[in-house]
Amino acid sequence: MKTVRLKENKVREIIPDYALPVEKWYGAAFAAECMEAPDEVEQGWVYEAAVEGVRRGQVGEPGQLRGAVESRTALGTLSANTPFGVFGAGAKWTGEVLPVAENGEVHPGKAQILSNVSGDAVELYEVEIVKCTDRESAAGRDLLLHVTDRRLLDTTGGIVAGMSGSPIIQDGKLVGAVTHVLVNDPTRGYGIFIENMLEAAK
């Protein structure tokens, strides 16, 4: 997860996790096809969960993480489901501080994602940003990603359902979050610019 603290409408710091809290508000990226809830859902709750199993992705058949809620105590509430992520109110989270990249700072090349594919352990995995597209019509497909980390490829086959919202880090900055997997190539997927998510959270 990632936490974003805002002060005077300017980003001050980022804290790793899978949500992006803005003061008491959070945002997270989810691909519609990876959500059990339909797009019309506008309210809900956020809980701690652990990954209990993995269905590896294959060409033409997206993989999936299988998880279970660990606690019945809600961390926060969902109040908006938008094309740029879901947003709501939540508790204050802590963690490592990272700066936020502007869209123009993101470039093709090596990057990393923070993801949880087993239990509740969040790890860094190597990826490559193949292409950046700063267009309004991108609809959450601002970044084309290619998974290069052998550990992740062996475990999941690449990007799978349940990894949406995994933070993307490049040059020591938070640049975006994973949103989609390519059905015909599970080693590839899409991400959204963090700047676009923060704009939608205002």
In the three-class reduction of DSSP (H, G, I as helix; E, B as strand; rest coil), residue 189 is classed as strand
Q: How far apart are CA 182 and CA 88, in angstroms?
A: 28
Question: Which parts of the chain are beta strand (E)?
Answer: 2-7, 10-16, 25-28, 44-46, 49-55, 64-69, 76-82, 85-90, 109-118, 121-132, 143-147, 167-170, 173-182, 185-193
Token couple for 151: 């550990």
How far is C-alpha 155 from the geometric centre of its chain's CA atoms? 18
Distances (CA, A) of 129 to 10, 137, 179: 26, 19, 14
If you classify domain 1-202 with CATH, what class do you get?
Answer: mainly beta
Instruction: Kindly report, residue by residue over 120-131, the tens digit of the pLDDT.
Output: 888 899 999 999
Strands 121-132 and 2-7: unpaired
Interior/surface letters 22-38, b for 16+ CB within 10 angstroms, e for the rest? beebbbbbbbeebeeee
- What local confidence, expressed as pLDDT, does residue 92 receive? 60
- What local confidence, expressed as pLDDT, does residue 97 receive? 72
Question: Are 50 and 68 spatial neighbours (Cβ–Cβ below 8 Å)?
Answer: yes
Q: From 109, 114, 96, select the one nearest 28 (Cα to Cα).
A: 114
**Domain ranges, ordered by start, for the chain:** 1-202
Distances (CA, A) of 109 to 75, 106, 113, 147: 35, 9, 13, 12
Q: From 61, 32, 51, select the one nearest 164 (Cα to Cα).
A: 32
Place of tokens 């860094």: 124
Place of tokens 């501080």: 97
Taking the model in full, what pTM does it have? 0.79
Low-confidence ranges of the chain (pLDDT < 50): 1-26, 30-38
- What local confidence, expressed as pLDDT, does residue 106 receive? 96
